[in-house]
Structure 1
Amino acid sequence: MSNKNPSTTRIVELAKQKSFNTEKKVLDTIKSMIKNKKVINYNTVAKESTVSKSFLYKNTSIRKKIDMIRNEQADLKNVTNHKGNTSDKSKDVIIESLKFKIERLEKEKQELKDALAAKYNDFYNNL
Structure 2
Amino acid sequence: MADYDRREQLKKIHASRKSATYQKVDEAIQRLVRANVNINFNSVASEAGVAKATLYNNLELRDRIESLRQQQAKAPTSKQIKREMDDNNKDALIASLQRRIKKLDGENKELREQLKVAYAEVYKKI
Q: TM > 0.5 between the two? A: yes
Residue in structure 2 matched with residue 48 of structure 1 by the alignment:
47
| Paired residue type of 1:33 | L
Residue in structure 2 matched with residue 39 of structure 1 by the alignment:
38
Alignment RMSD: 2.5
Shift of 1:51: 0.2
Distance in 1 between the 2:81 and 2:17 partners?
44
- Total equivalences in the alignment: 83
Distance in 2 between the 1:72 and 1:60 partners?
18
Distance in 2 between the 1:30 and 1:18 partners?
18
Distance in 1 between the 2:78 and 2:62 partners?
25
Distance in 1 between the 2:26 and 2:79 partners?
26
- Whose Rg is larger? 2
TM-score normalised by structure 1 residue count: 0.56
Distance in 2 between the 1:79 and 1:62 partners?
29
| Paired residue type of 2:42 | N
Residue in structure 1 matched with residue 28 of structure 2 by the alignment:
29
Shift of 1:12: 2.2
Shift of 1:95: 3.6
Residues 73-112 of structure 1 mapped to structure 2, 5 A cutoff: 73-77=72-76, 80-82=79-81, 95=87
TM-score normalised by structure 2 residue count: 0.56
Shift of 1:70: 0.4
Distance in 2 between the 1:80 and 1:61 partners?
32
Question: Which 5+ residue runs of structure 1 have no aligned equivalent?
Answer: 1-5, 85-90, 97-127
Residue in structure 2 matched with residue 72 of structure 1 by the alignment:
71
Shift of 1:78: 6.3
1:17 aligns with 2:16: yes
Which structure has greater helix proportion? 2
Please list every run of at least 4 consecutive aligned residues from structure 1 whose deviation after the TM superposition is greater than 6 angstroms.
none
